[in-house]
Chains A and B, each alone.
Chain A
């Protein structure tokens, strides 16, 4: 158990809809990262937050947004969903402030867009 909790584990929705994925980092970790893992693809970095502030941005679509709340949990919002958004979305947390250090991943939220 990594200590990172993601909900929901599975989500099925239709094209055009909007969903919110939730992540609770390990106790004490200030950094939260979101990654997308599509079929037969590696982990694509979406966005990083550190103590409530956006710290780095990857290939995140404009239809996607995220935030980190004062209690350090984070939400990833995916809107106007397309079939190609079907993927496993991972949240990871880290305690380091300089560099990434070890990332602790949750078990992921599997999104299926029909």
Chain B
């Protein structure tokens, strides 16, 4: 089955700096890569996603890049703000056949933005 590894496990940055979180996946058939943000006491919430036919996607201060050859994808947050402090999860999903239907999540990155 799919295995997703996420680094770093914790990340502390100063407000205004950039933050980068990296993930690798094992199943070359995976074609959907979302990122979820989990704030304290809440469930994860989708912040951005990318599909395998695209190399990069941007939404305001957030961007995701995908390298299918190397099987890794990254989340980039620019001009970080204190409200970006949360746990971020990457995930990967393969095509709709047996055993590949559900998202496999990474272990999470706790991002702390220092004011």
Contact = CB atoms under 8 A, between A and B. Distances in A.
A42 B44 CA distance: 11
Contacts, number: 60
Contacts of A45: 102-105
A92 interface: yes
Nearest to B51: A99
A106 B43 CA distance: 6
Interface residues of A, number: 25
Interface string B83-115: 000000100010110010111111110000000
A55 interface: yes
A92 B106 contact: no
A43 B89 contact: yes
Nearest to B103: A100
Nearest to B110: A40
Contact of A42 (B49, B89, B96): B89
Interface in A81-114: 90, 92, 98-100, 102-103, 105-108
8 contacts: A35-B105, A42-B6, A45-B104, A103-B34, A103-B44, A107-B41, A107-B42, A108-B43
Interface of A: 2, 4, 33, 35, 40-45, 48, 55-56, 58, 90, 92, 98-100, 102-103, 105-108
Interface of B: 4, 6, 32, 34, 36, 41-46, 49, 89, 93, 95-96, 99, 101-108
Given A92-B43, A99-B93, 7 more contacts: A41-B107, A42-B89, A45-B105, A100-B101, A102-B46, A103-B34, A105-B43
